[in-house]
Amino acid sequence: MLSNEMETAINKQINAEFWSAYLYLSMSAHFAHEGLPGFANWFRVQFQEEQDHAMKFMNYLIAKGNKVELTPIEKVDTSWESLLKAFQDTLDHERVVTSLINNLVSIARSENDYATENMLQWFVNEQVEEEETAQGMIDSLKLIGSNGFGIYTMDKELAKRSYTPLNTATTA
């Protein structure tokens, strides 16, 4: 079993992952409404990935004999003034998630909880990828600026992104 502190921290992380999913679903709905189905698709895939992250944490708690406690999801924004602003918000959010994951690693280390620290390394690596991807989108959008054809082309490219389910089993 995990310590009470680790159980509480992972339960908070589960809530944060579901909040992230909700945020990305809201972004997807916003850009679908704006007539940008490719960007909407990109955020919808993010939504699905965040749900997988929450499930991976849930399954870990269950496997360790701890209790999962789901809490209400806080309100998220429902509109963005631009694509660039949405991706800047995405990067800012992913940086917060990185700090939350780092905090979990710190707790695991302070408790000599090697199994949890090992499980968390997947998330540490995932956060590097998430921040890099968001920064890449920001860089691309800055290059494109207000060029309609550039946005159209990027939207068509992002429409090709597909969801690949994560193995959320604790042995993965």
- Provide the pLDDT for residue 78: 98
The two three-digit tokens of residue 33, written as one number: 């409404």
Domain extents for the chain?
A: 4-158
- Provide the pLDDT for residue 172: 44
pTM confidence score: 0.94
Q: Tens digit of pLDDT per residue, the chain (172 long)?
A: 999 999 999 999 999 999 999 999 999 999 999 999 999 999 999 999 999 999 999 999 999 999 999 999 999 999 999 999 999 999 999 999 999 999 999 999 999 999 999 999 999 999 999 999 999 999 999 999 999 999 999 999 999 999 999 888 865 4
C-alpha torsion sign, points 130, 132, 137, 138? positive
First to last CA, the chain: 19
| CATH homologous superfamily, domain 4-158 | Ferritin, core subunit, four-helix bundle (1.20.1260.10)
d(CA 106, CA 160): 38
d(CA 47, CA 18): 9
- Provide the pLDDT for residue 170: 67
- Sequence-distant (≥ 6) Cβ neighbours of residue 19 within 8 angstroms: 73, 74, 76
- Provide the pLDDT for residue 28: 98
Residue type, 9: A
